[in-house]
Amino acid sequence: MSDPKNLMKPDGDVTPIDTDYQIGQDNIALKIGPFGLDIHNRVFLISGLSIVAFVVLTMAFQSQVEPMFGTLRGWLTSNLDWFFISAGNIFVLVCLFLIVSPMGKVRLGGTEATPDFSYLGWFSMLFAAGMGIGLMFYGVSEPLSHFNSSMGGISGEAGARTDWAPLSAAAGDPLAAERLAMAATIYHWALHPWAIYAVLALGLALFSFNKGLPLTVRSVFYPLLGERVWGWPGHIIDILAVFATLFGLATSLGLGASQASAGLNYLFGVPTGPTTEILLVIGITAIALVSVLAGLEAGVKRLSEINMTLAALLLLFVIIVGPTVAILTGFAANLAAYFQYLPALANPIGREDANFAQGWTAFYWAWWISWSPFVGMFIARVSRGRTVREFMISVLLIPSAACVLWMTAFGGTAISQVVNDGYDAVVGAELPLQLFTMLDVMPLAQITSFIAIVLVVIFFVTSSDSGSLVIDTIAAGGKVDAPTPQRVFWVTFEGLVAIALILGGGLVALQAMAVSTGFPFTIILLVACVSVLKGLATEPRK
């Protein structure tokens, strides 16, 4: 077994520690538990029992917890918006520094490592990581909400107009309002969120492939904590990672359920409301369980391929049938607007657009951060053999470009329908329904709306399945092939947490838990930046 004290040496040739490692008196040894569970006795038990208690208490005291969730979300976003915005800026700056610094020459896996995947395959997987329920839910609704605020129209979730200079300048000018709306949307889906993912993904890849440490979040902190990373400081880091990932996933599952419910009502008259959403969560969680039992290759991989194909077809359909020229030219124009407004959007001090900074950005950053162990571990596992510079450029740009194209196509089409066709129905629709309202006036509306529902459902399944794998890996101390019953446990409780939050306050409750778990994990990620830089400094750069 490798000596942990030597793991920081730049020898470029590291043999990973076996998963039966036992380091220090207070170790994270994997142990065979009851029912064939292969668990990390502290992280699994504490996080698992806490989640069970949360579900039971939330369901038992629904009327009492609903106002609590609303108060919690409001307090966190109104008082900590500056913190989330500042943290997002720091993550971007760290990534840009690594691109231009000599540390960008470090190769993940050692100097002799070769990539596991071709550029095309690697880019496809990075693109797949950027696709999810969020793009389906917010692809139309977010640009429209910001457009309304910019035009001084109906107040969306972003809130009413303020005296913020860009909003005042755009008021009454549809083109300026559209550019500002798309810039604000791209701000939430481009460099900043992908920098959040990139920081943790790089740390996981570096300390797993180069240093031989387990593939779990605590390993990233070895340069700062040393042997203590195997004790309670490491336990706490991994427990927070489990909580953040699970509640981040539950938020996405809740959004997916509300959108699928709205789509079924729009197409088939199925009643909307918590009952339908809960039934959807139960049904789709059952499908996710089948996917878990089928295994990673037959389950997640096949569903992901189907989803990527359907998403590409739907995107292509909207580009061709929608305002094609406006979408294609808007891609570059929206990017230009994004960089134009970026200093104002990313400014954490003296914000006059409090509703946008608190209601949108603070929630988004906490949500993205809560997803960072999930997506970060996926990106890390497919990026062996890449240099840090290559890694950072690709992780920042490829998924960002995909998200910009998606938002430009769907959001731009909806805004065009409002401005050029006078189609106000899409503006007045509820957020989960706006995608289907936009598709309704296009050819083959019944087919495309049904495909959109299928996409939401499959995103739901693949997120739950692969998310349970990541949570289980963290809870098992970095072991990637833990027994199936453990993943069944996490898939089941992801669904139960989503149900509990739907009953305990709906979207507000979902967002409240994403923000409340994302806050402490933001601190973890900020410290991780220092640790990653220290780890890279010991690596050979040839």
| Residue 161 confidence (pLDDT) | 42
CA dihedral 412, 416, 418, 422 (to 10 degrees): -170
- Reading the block at residue 60, the tokens are 């038992």
- Reading the block at residue 313, the tokens are 């077809």
3-state secondary structure string, 224-244?
Answer: HHHHHHHCHHHHHHHHHHHHH
Mean pLDDT, residues 183-192: 94
Lowest mean pLDDT among 15-19, 378-382, 498-502: 15-19
Burial classification of residue 464, based on how many CB atoms lie within 10 Å of its CB (0-12 exposed, 13-18 middle, 19 or more buried): buried
Residue 271 CA to residue 168 CA, distance in Å, equals 40
Q: What is the DSSP string of 248-310?
A: HHHHHHHHHHHHHHHHHHHHH-PPPSHHHHHHHHHHHHHHHHHHHHH-TIIIIIHHHHHHHHH
Percentage of the chain modeled with pLDDT above 70: 85
Per residue in 376-433, pLDDT (tens digit) is 988 898 899 999 999 999 999 988 998 999 999 999 999 999 999 889 889 888 888 9
The tally of CA atoms less than 13 A away on the side-chain side of residue 159 is 15
Residue 232 CA to residue 27 CA, distance in Å, equals 9
What is residue 189's three-state secondary structure?
Answer: helix
Residue 10 CA to residue 285 CA, distance in Å, equals 45
Mean pLDDT, residues 67-89: 89
Residue 465, amino acid:
D
Q: Using 50, 70 and 90 to split pLDDT, how confident is the model at 17?
A: very low
- Reading the block at residue 263, the tokens are 């789509």
Contacts of 112 (CB under 8 A, 6+ apart): 12, 13
Q: Pick 118 or 328 by higher pLDDT.
A: 328
Lowest mean pLDDT among 79-83, 86-90, 465-469: 465-469
Per residue in 344-356, pLDDT (tens digit) is 999 998 887 878 8
Domains of the chain are 26-102+143-537 (1.20.1740)
CB contact at 8 A, 414 and 144: yes
Per residue in 272-321, pLDDT (tens digit) is 888 999 999 999 888 888 877 776 555 566 777 788 889 999 999 999 99
Which of these, 255, 253, 254, 247, lies nearest to 138 by C-alpha position?
255
Q: Using 50, 70 and 90 to split pLDDT, how confident is the model at 11?
A: very low
| Residue 155 confidence (pLDDT) | 37
Percentage of the chain modeled with pLDDT above 90: 44
Residue 462 CA to residue 454 CA, distance in Å, equals 12
- Reading the block at residue 314, the tokens are 């739907």
Please name the residue that has the structure tokens 């095309």: 120
- C-alpha triplet 464, 429, 360: angle, nearest 5°: 60
Q: Is the pLDDT of residue 32 over 70?
A: no
Please name the residue that has the structure tokens 């470090």: 106
- Reading the block at residue 30, the tokens are 């994997």
Residue 295 CA to residue 216 CA, distance in Å, equals 21
| Residue 351 confidence (pLDDT) | 81
Burial classification of residue 457, based on how many CB atoms lie within 10 Å of its CB (0-12 exposed, 13-18 middle, 19 or more buried): buried
CA distances from 167 to 40, 151, 171, 347 (A): 51, 8, 6, 15
